[in-house]
Structure 1
């Protein structure tokens, strides 16, 4: 069961750790990290970076739709405070982020 596509928003160590752990699941096909960092760029395998800033919520929603993302995980506080979780949910995309 290797089908779930996940987007992790952020570029820090927290997002790197989340992407790394999510990619270990046999249920996950791909983990995109926006914008990611040097560590996620070198991770290879199921993990790939996307050059979109974590606070560019409109572009992240568009990316999630275009790439058939099933779950978005938002790490940084700024996009959370700017309403990222609400924007993804309003678009019908499951999103996880502390509130």
Structure 2
């Protein structure tokens, strides 16, 4: 009878570990930006950023996008407020009847 030795579990490859770290980083990116993580998680994510160029680019791009959104002023078109008043007036009159 042949004895079969189960092979030991394989260690994850470095690339696989990096991918899982990237996925984790992407999944908690908004919490990271808001610093809404435990100190240990913040340290781990900063460490990941220091070694991963792809995540660093994603992080920087998102920060820039957020900053642009905060700085952007949107002017309401003149017709918008007029149309809004018409809709509100129509609904108000319908409720009064």
Q: Per residue, is there more strand in 1 or in 2?
A: 1
TM-score (norm 2): 0.23
Compare relative contact order (CA 8 Å, sep 6+) and give the higher one, 1 or 2: 1
TM-score (norm 1): 0.23
Q: Per residue, is there more helix in 1 or in 2?
A: 2
